A = this chain, B = another copy of it.
Amino acid sequence: MIGRTGSVGDLLYSLAVSGFIYPIIGHWAWGPDGFLALMGSDGHFLPSLGTGFHDFAGSTVVHTIGGFIALAGAIVLGPRLGRKFKRDGGGPMLPHDLTIAASGGLILWFGWYGFNPGSTLSAMDFEGIGRVAANTTLAACAAGLTAMAYAYTFAKKWDVSFTVNGFLAGLVAITCPCYWVSPTGAILLGGVAGVVVVAGVEVLEWLRIDDPIGAVPVHGMCGIWGTLSLGLFACGKYGATGAVAPDNSAPLTGLFYGGGLHLLGAQAVGSLIVTCSTFAVAMAVMYLVNAFGVLRVSEEGELYGLDLHEHGIPAYPEYVISALGSPAGSWQAKPETSPVGDRVATAPQVALQKAVS
């Protein structure tokens, strides 16, 4: 949703997302009496499944929800000005700064060691914390490598964006199953996530949905994959974490470890319900905010740049920025309205006018 969303719209839909979507849908899976948590037990939802929905640190509850809210936003917003899709002879617009993108990705990776091991909720489950941290690392590495290799097959270059989104995809995927799978499982399910994310980017491109940073493939699609992967890779050794010690008396076992389809079914049901509910509510929220005219900035504001239009100042007042990355070189069309832009804008203006003429 970046590059075109207004700040007021951001604030408004954030109220809906943080105040209602996350707490209510999250409660379904993580609340002590959530219907997905209790699913499969007598007297509750779908008792025939025999097992509840499991999501250790939030592949579904955090990431799928976030990814499908982003999908709703991208659909309602429409693509950025000047964005042409591959089917129409175009392709993704150039990124702004890959050094910062990769650094940000690594900081997120580091933060994951808070999300995943921290979700044991007790410092006394030593083994669980160690296993979760190791699985998190392995899945991220595997996904980064498969995404890099897969992107190489068509780009013939070692693409930084896909590599970063690859390891993020692995992190999202391992978030649900990190407590219950073996290191081998973590490598395999992470490796698949790296393929899913690259394919997901292509799917969105084909659907003419403009998701500049790949939030939908990374968080939405790999959140679903990670949630399902528990039903395949749960290794049958680990049960539940606890305040003082883990309780492995009722371990989770997935399809590949002889546990049959019960767990996979529960994961699929939970993921489907959460994904559909989130997407439906998020579409309504985005349409509502859009109806007030504050979701997307004006065409002028978008060409001008959100830093100047929304925040009143360029992000780097002293750097000389070329117009290369802006849609159709249109940024320099409005320098006269900028308090500082006229001097910043002079260099690329002249250059691009020359280049065009």
Contacts and interface: CB of A to CB of B under 8 A. Distances in A.
Interface of A: 7, 94-100, 123, 155-160, 307, 310-313, 315-326, 329, 332-333, 335, 340, 343-356
A123 B350 CA distance: 60
A96 to B, nearest CB: 6
A349 B351 contact: yes
B352 A323 contact: yes
A158 B96 CA distance: 21
Contacts of A312: 155-159
Number of copies: 3
Contacts of A157: 310-313
Contacts of A345: 352, 355
A316 B98 contact: yes
A352 B355 contact: no
Given A94-B317, A324-B343, A347-B347, 19 more contacts: A95-B313, A97-B318, A98-B316, A99-B316, A157-B312, A158-B312, A318-B321, A318-B323, A320-B320, A322-B347, A322-B348, A323-B347, A323-B351, A332-B351, A343-B352, A343-B355, A348-B351, A348-B352, A350-B350
Nearest to A8: B158
A313 B325 CA distance: 12
B319 A347 contact: no
B97 A316 contact: yes
Nearest to A149: B11
A144 to B, nearest CB: 12
Contact of A324 (B123, B310, B326, B348): B348
Contact of A351 (B96, B310, B318, B351): B351
Select the residue from A98, A319, A343, A348 with max chain B CB neighbours within 10 A.
Answer: A348
29 contacts: A95-B317, A97-B319, A98-B315, A98-B316, A99-B315, A157-B310, A157-B312, A158-B310, A319-B320, A322-B347, A322-B348, A323-B352, A324-B340, A324-B347, A329-B351, A333-B355, A335-B355, A343-B352, A345-B352, A347-B347, A347-B348, A347-B351, A347-B355, A348-B352, A349-B353, A350-B350, A350-B356, A352-B353, A353-B353
Nearest to A95: B317
Nearest to A324: B347
Nearest to A320: B320
A324 B344 contact: yes
A344 B321 CA distance: 10
Given A310-B158, A347-B324, A354-B346, A319 B317 contact: no
